[in-house]
Amino acid sequence: MTPVSAKLYTDDVSLLMVLIDTNPFFWNSVKSSLPISKFLTHVLAFLNAIVLLNQLNQVVVIATGYNSCDYIFDSSTSEGQTQRAEYLLQKLEEFVNKDESLCREDSVDGPGFSLLSGSLSMALCYIQRVFRSGPLHPHPRILCLHGSPDGPGQYVAIMNSIFSAQRSMVPIDSCVIGAQHSAFLQQASYITGGVYLKPQMLDGLFQYLSTVFATDLHSRGFLQLPKPAGVDFRASCFCHKNTIDMGYICSVCLSIFCKHQKKCSTCGSVFGQAPVQDSSTPDRKRKNPMDA
């Protein structure tokens, strides 16, 4: 496989992969502060601005649902070049209805989790197809418009996607619209050299998108983009999928556990018994030769 550094890039042409969080449980929890219709109005204006900045720019939209994810828009296709907004909204509505039908039997407390790991994988697969299409291709980047809480069960898959994006020199930008920060997306933007932002005023979402995330990779070298105040690098254990500060690591496959295990559930390696210090035995006073 040809290394990424040897590929020829066009100067300021972008391939923007936009991952839109369509988790119905999340949008139902924030419908009073940010209805999904208003959110899509900001997003559509932003996508139109990206295409207007350069006629060679390409935009691909992936819907990130609760049970599934799918490509819903590609500006390079004939459908994406005419009646852009109508086509995107129609495909998005079809996807949301399909995703809601899959999760009707699930009982979810709170906003639930969206399938971020799946949409990241699909975005990276599309970018790899573009890499192999020819020596001249646009600068690829990923923009995550995310609101759902982090799903601890997706930790391994998301970290694999992050390292794959880092190796391919694909930055992951993150715009978090939920109530809490996303530790996964903080790490994704930090590791891949992207921009992480949590807008303070969602009514001005389009202004945040157009001033921070509309800039191409070539222009970012001349701008002072926002930097996160702190990044949460804590990992999730493989046994209970909980975020931990300290734990046990398998020396063979680097799996993380919150408690000592007899056997690694990932690779099957057998662990030794953790040493236990007996505090009941008093420490013996070391004999001084001068006292003999």
**54 with 12: CB under 8 angstroms?**
yes
Rounded-to-integer distance, Cα 105 and Cα 102, Å: 7
pLDDT for 244 beyond 90 = no
Distance CA(172)–CA(228), nearest Å, equals: 14
Output the pLDDT for position 110: 58
Whether the predicted pLDDT of 277 surpasses 60: no
Give the CATH architecture of domain 6-221.
3-Layer(aba) Sandwich (3.40)
Spatial distance between the Cα atoms of 98 and 35, rounded to a whole number of angstroms? 20
For the chain, the structural domain boundaries read 6-221, 233-292
- Read off the pTM: 0.80
pLDDT in tens, 123-174: 999 999 998 887 778 899 999 999 998 887 788 899 999 999 999 999 999 9
Contact by Cβ (8 Å): 257, 248: yes
Contact 186, 196 (CB under 8 A): yes
The average pLDDT across 171-185 equals 92
pLDDT at 5: 46
Q: What pLDDT, in 10s, does the model give residues 281-290?
A: 455 445 554 4
Structure tokens at 121: 């994988």
| Whether pLDDT at 44 is above 90 | yes
Give yes or no for residue 207 having a pLDDT over 60.
yes
Please give the residue that has the higher pLDDT: either 277 or 88: 88
Angle (nearest 5°) at CA 213 between 209 and 215: 125
SS3 category, 246? coil
Distance between CA atoms of 27 and 4, rounded to whole angstroms? 38
pLDDT at 275 over 70: no
Q: What is the pLDDT of residue 3?
A: 45
Predicted confidence (pLDDT) per residue in 27-38, tens digit: 988 887 889 999
Quick one: what percent of the chain has pLDDT higher than 70? 84
Pair of tokens at residue 82: 């005419």
